[in-house]
Structure 1
Amino acid sequence: MRKILIVDDEINIGLLLSKFLTRNSFSVSTATSGVSAMEYLAKESYDLVLCDYRLEDTDGKEMLIKIKESYPSTGVIIITGYSDIKLAVELIKLGAYDYITKPLYPDEILNTINKAIDTQTALNENRMETPAEAPKQKGSKQIYNQTDNFVAGQSAASKELLKQIQLVAPTAYSVILTGESGTGKESVAMAIHLNSPRKNNPFVAMDCGSLTKELAGSEFFGHEKGSFTGALYTKIGHFEMANGGTLFLDEVGNLSYEIQAALLRTVQERKIKRIGSTKEIDLDVRIIVATNENLTNAIQKGRFREDLYHRFNEFSIALPPLSQRGRDIMVFANTFLEVANQELNRNVQGFSEEVEECFLTYNWPGNVRELKNVVRRATLLTETQEIQLKALPLEISTYAKASAMESSISRTEKPRDLKNAALEAEYEAILKVLREVNFNKTKAAKILNIDRKTLYNKMRAINLET
C-alpha cells in the first residue's frame, strides 16, 4: 500500500485529506508542523509528502529542501492558498512534483497524487537500473560517481559509449539517443546532464509515448487556470520546469505530426506561451530525445518531420544492447544483486557458475531492465548463498539449455546419412523457433505445425524438457 504523509497545521484539512485518501487505498499519516513531519520521515519511508506551504514553524520551500536532501526517493507536492507563479516555478526547480492552489478538488488532487507517485517510482527504479559506480578507465578522466546512476563498463561497446558521453556533455548540443527498449537511455541522458554546466539546474524527463493529442500542449507548455474546460488551476509545463536545465523527451517518435510542428516552433524560437496566456516565456533548455525506432525511416514514411529531426540531431549516440556488452553483464548483475539484498533484507553472495554462464549466453531482449527484474526475482527466491539456475525464469534457463544443445549438435560428428541429417535439421528448426517465441511452447507448436504433445516429446529427445 502506498504511503502518504500530509503536513498541514490546519487540522480539519489534514483530517479531510486523510479520510479521502484512506478511502482511495492509501496509507496516510498526518503532521501539523515541520518538526513533527521530519520525525515521521525519520521513522518510516513515504512515497509522497503533501505539504502546505505556510506552516507555523517553517514553510513549504524549506521543507522541500530538507526532504529532498535527506529523503530523495520521496515525492513532494506543495499545497497553498496563494497562487504565485514565480514561487511555483522555483519550487518545481527545487524538486517538487507539483504546486497546487486551494481549494482542492477530489479528482484533481487524486490524479496529481497518482501521477506524482508513478513519476517518483519510475525515477527511483531508474536510479537502480544501472550500476551506481563506474570502474576506473585507464587513460581517461573518471567523471561518474555514485549519484550519477550510470556505469559504462569495460567492454569495447561500453567504452565507446563513455567516450561519446564525455565528448558531448560539456556542450549545449541537442542529442538523440537511439537503442533498443531497456538499454538505459534515460540514465545516459542523466549522465550527460550531470556532467554538463547545467548539472545544478533541473533535469526533467517526459514520456512522449503516453501523451494524447489533447494533453500534449498542456504537458509541454502548461496552461492558465480557466483556459479550457477542466483547467482548474495553473499548470507549469515541462519546458518551463526544465528552464535552465535539461529536458529529456523519451519515445519522441510517438508524437503526432501536429505536436511535432508546435515543438519545432519552440525549439527554433526558444520561447513558449502557456495555453490561455499571451505572455511569452524565454527558454534556456538543452533537449535530449530518445527513441527505439529509426527516425530516418519515419521521415521517409511521413510520420516524423525532417526539420525537427535535424534540430534534435546535433549529436547522436547509439546505445548498445546488453547482449553486446560481454562481461559487463555480470557487473550489472552484481550491482542489482546488492540493491535487491538491501530491498529484501537478504544476504545472497553471488551467482553460481551455471547462472553466470546462462547470463552471458542469453540474448536479453529486454536489456538492462530485464536483467534487473530477473536478478530481483531470483534474489527473492534464493535461500542459499548463491543464486542457482532453478531461481531463473523458465525462458532464460531453457534458452541456456538450447544454446548448449545447439553447440553439442554442431560439435557431434555423425554419419552423414539422410536420417541423421533430417534429425539434425529438425532439432535446429525447433531450437530456432523456440528462441524466436521466447520458448512459448504453444506458439512454437503452432508455427511448427505440430501439437504441443509432439513438441514436448521432441524437446525431451534433445534434453530440453521443461
Structure 2
Amino acid sequence: MTDYASYPDAVRAIKLGAADYLPKPVYRERLLELAHDLLKLPSAVRNRGKSLFKRISCQALYVDKMARLVGPTDISVLILGANGTGKESVAQSIHGYSERCQMPFVAVNCAVIPRELAPSMFFGHVKGAFTGADTNREGYFGRTEGGTLFLDEIGTLSFEVQSMLLRVLQENTYMPVGGNREKRADVRIISATNEDLSKAVREGRFREDLYHRLNEFEIRQPSLAECKEDILPLAEFFRERFSKELRRETAGFSDGAKRLLLSYPWPGNIRELRNKVKRAVLVSEHPLLSGEDMDIHFEMTSVKDTLYEEKKESPALSLRDDTQEIGRIRLAVEKAKGNLTEAARLLGVSRVTLYAKLKKYGITELYPNKSTGKK
C-alpha cells in the first residue's frame, strides 16, 4: 500500500513479485476481497449490493434463464464448469432471484478446509469444546441462517465430511462441536465443481446419496471460449473497473488487441481475462490498451500438433475449436513474418490448405492479393 501511487513504482512492485498494488485510501470492501482472493480463505460473505455483469451470449443467457427459473425455489443446485468460468456469479444470481436475497450469501472454498477442523468450521463450537475454544463460535451454517450457502469445489471434501454434510441436508439440523442441543439449519445449498462427480461416485470418492441431494437441479456454466460475444464486453467492463481502482486513464482497446482477445482460446476463462486486462491497465503507457500490454502468448509448440487433430471433446465443448484454430493461424503467420509458405510449414499443412482456412474464417488482412500474389 502506498500514499504516493505512481506508475514506475507499481510496475516495479509487480515485477518484484507483488500480487497487487493498492493506493490509499484503501477501501475496506476492496481490501477484504483482495485478501480473500490472495489467501484463498475458506469462506466469505458477499456484499448484497454488488452488481453482477450482465452477459449477452446465447449460452450465458440460457444459464441466467435457468438461474431465474430455479432461484425462487429451495431446490439444491449443482453448478458444473471449468475453473475461472464464473460459477460463483451464477450462484449469486440464483441467490439474487430467490426470496432469501436479503439474507447472507456465504461462499465456502471446500478445497482448503482441513478435515480435522471441518466439523467446527461448518457447524461451529461451544466454549471449552477443545483446547483453544475460548468462546462460542458460529460455523458456516450458523452464519448463513436464512440465506444461501455456496460450496465451491465440493468434490474435494473428504468422505467423512461428506457424511456430516449429508446428515444436515437430510435432517435440516446440526450439532455444534461440544454442544448438547441441536440447531435448525434454514439454509439453501448451492454447490459447484469442475470435476465429474458422477465419475467420482463410480470410483467411490464421492457419496452417491450426497450427489443426488446436491444435484436436484444442474446448471452447466460454459467456458469463455464458447461465449465469444461476451469477450469484448467483459474486457471493457474490467478495463473500466481497474482504471478506476488503479487510477489509470484508459480509453479502450486497440484493433489489434481486440483481434487478439477474440482469437485467444482463454484456457483460464474469465479469471484469466480479468487478470490480463488488469495487467494491461497497469502497464500501458497509452490510452488504448494493446495486445502487448496484456502479455497474451499462444503456445507455438502445440500449433502443428493440435491444429488439425481429431476432435475428441463433447459437442458442448467443440465450439472452442474454431477460436483456437484462428488464433494458431494468426500466430503462425506472425512468426513467419507474413510469409504464408513458411506459416503453412509451421502449421504442418499445405499452402493451399492455409489459403482455404484464411478464406473460411474471413481473415482478409492475411489473404494474398490475387493480382499481385503479395500479402
**TM-score normalised per structure 1:** 0.59
Conservation of the 8 A alpha-carbon contact between 1:223 and 1:277: yes
Letter in 2 for 1:169: G
**Equivalences for residues 211-226 of structure 1 within 5 A:** 211-226=113-128
Conservation of the 8 A alpha-carbon contact between 1:193 and 1:199: yes
Conservation of the 8 A alpha-carbon contact between 1:149 and 1:187: no
Letter in 2 for 1:350: G
> 1:403 Cα deviation (Å)?
3.0
> Is it true that 1:313 corresponds to 2:215 in the alignment?
yes
Distance in 1 (CA, whole Å) between partners of 2:37 and 2:197 is: 31
- Which residue in 2 is equivalent to 1:192? 94
Conservation of the 8 A alpha-carbon contact between 1:152 and 1:161: no
Distance in 2 (CA, whole Å) between partners of 1:382 and 1:365 is: 24
- Which residue in 2 is equivalent to 1:269? 171
* Structure 2: 5+ residue stretches without partners: 4-23, 301-323, 350-375
Describe the superposition over 1:261-320 as per-residue Cα deviations: whole angstroms up to 9, x where unpaired.
Answer: 111111000001100001000111100001010100000110000000101111111001
Q: Provide the aligned C-alpha RMSD in A.
A: 3.4
> 1:424 Cα deviation (Å)?
4.9
Distance in 2 (CA, whole Å) between partners of 1:329 and 1:425 is: 31
Question: Secondary structure at the residue paired with 2:228?
Answer: coil
* 1:404 aligned to which of 320, 330, 333: 330
Distance in 1 (CA, whole Å) between partners of 2:81 and 2:36 is: 27
> Is it true that 1:322 corresponds to 2:322 in the alignment?
no
Question: Secondary structure at the residue paired with 1:206?
Answer: strand
Conservation of the 8 A alpha-carbon contact between 2:36 and 2:44: no
Conservation of the 8 A alpha-carbon contact between 2:333 and 2:340: no
Give the number of equivalent residue pairs: 302
> 1:151 Cα deviation (Å)?
3.1
> Is it true that 1:151 corresponds to 2:151 in the alignment?
no
Distance in 1 (CA, whole Å) between partners of 2:37 and 2:276 is: 27
* Overall identity of the aligned pairs, in %: 39
Distance 1:350 1:361, change over 3 A: same
**Equivalences for residues 226-375 of structure 1 within 5 A:** 226-375=128-277
> 1:188 Cα deviation (Å)?
1.1
Distance in 2 (CA, whole Å) between partners of 1:117 and 1:336 is: 19
Residue range with higher mean Cα deviation, 291-300 or 382-391: 382-391
> Is it true that 1:389 corresponds to 2:370 in the alignment?
no
Distance in 1 (CA, whole Å) between partners of 2:233 and 2:37 is: 32
> 1:45 Cα deviation (Å)?
3.4
Distance in 1 (CA, whole Å) between partners of 2:256 and 2:346 is: 27
Conservation of the 8 A alpha-carbon contact between 2:329 and 2:347: no
Distance in 2 (CA, whole Å) between partners of 1:149 and 1:367 is: 20
Distance in 1 (CA, whole Å) between partners of 2:26 and 2:31 is: 8
Conservation of the 8 A alpha-carbon contact between 2:106 and 2:150: yes
- Which residue in 2 is equivalent to 1:20? none
Describe the superposition over 1:133-152 as per-residue Cα deviations: whole angstroms up to 9, x where unpaired.
Answer: xxxxxxxxxxxxx9453234
> Which structure has the bigger radius of gyration?
1
- Which residue in 2 is equivalent to 1:167? 69
Distance 1:2 1:226, change over 3 A: farther
Conservation of the 8 A alpha-carbon contact between 2:57 and 2:229: yes
> 1:369 Cα deviation (Å)?
0.8
* 1:45 aligned to which of 26, 33, 52: 26
Distance 1:396 1:289, change over 3 A: same
Letter in 2 for 1:222: G
Distance in 2 (CA, whole Å) between partners of 1:386 and 1:287 is: 43
**Equivalences for residues 19-34 of structure 1 within 5 A:** none
> Is it true that 1:378 corresponds to 2:304 in the alignment?
no
> 1:226 Cα deviation (Å)?
1.4
Distance 1:380 1:426, change over 3 A: closer
Conservation of the 8 A alpha-carbon contact between 2:126 and 2:178: yes
Distance in 2 (CA, whole Å) between partners of 1:282 and 1:386 is: 55
Conservation of the 8 A alpha-carbon contact between 1:202 and 1:245: yes
- Which residue in 2 is equivalent to 1:109? none
> 1:426 Cα deviation (Å)?
5.6
Conservation of the 8 A alpha-carbon contact between 1:333 and 1:371: yes
Distance 1:285 1:123, change over 3 A: closer
Conservation of the 8 A alpha-carbon contact between 2:43 and 2:109: no
Describe the superposition over 1:323-348 as per-residue Cα deviations: whole angstroms up to 9, x where unpaired.
Answer: 11112101100000001110111121
> 1:233 Cα deviation (Å)?
2.2
Conservation of the 8 A alpha-carbon contact between 1:201 and 1:244: yes
Distance in 2 (CA, whole Å) between partners of 1:407 and 1:174 is: 49
Letter in 2 for 1:274: P
Conservation of the 8 A alpha-carbon contact between 2:148 and 2:189: yes
Structure with more contact order per residue of length (Cα contacts < 8 Å, sep ≥ 6): 2
* 2:82 aligned to which of 180, 197, 207: 180
Distance 1:245 1:123, change over 3 A: closer
- Which residue in 1 is equivalent to 2:321? none
- Which residue in 2 is equivalent to 1:10? none
Question: Secondary structure at the residue paired with 2:73?
Answer: coil
Distance 1:172 1:165, change over 3 A: same
Letter in 1 for 2:265: N
**TM-score normalised per structure 2:** 0.72
Distance in 2 (CA, whole Å) between partners of 1:243 and 1:298 is: 30
Conservation of the 8 A alpha-carbon contact between 1:148 and 1:191: no
Distance in 2 (CA, whole Å) between partners of 1:121 and 1:300 is: 28
- Which residue in 1 is equivalent to 2:18? none
Conservation of the 8 A alpha-carbon contact between 1:170 and 1:197: yes
Question: Secondary structure at the residue paired with 2:108?
Answer: strand
> Is it true that 1:208 corresponds to 2:110 in the alignment?
yes
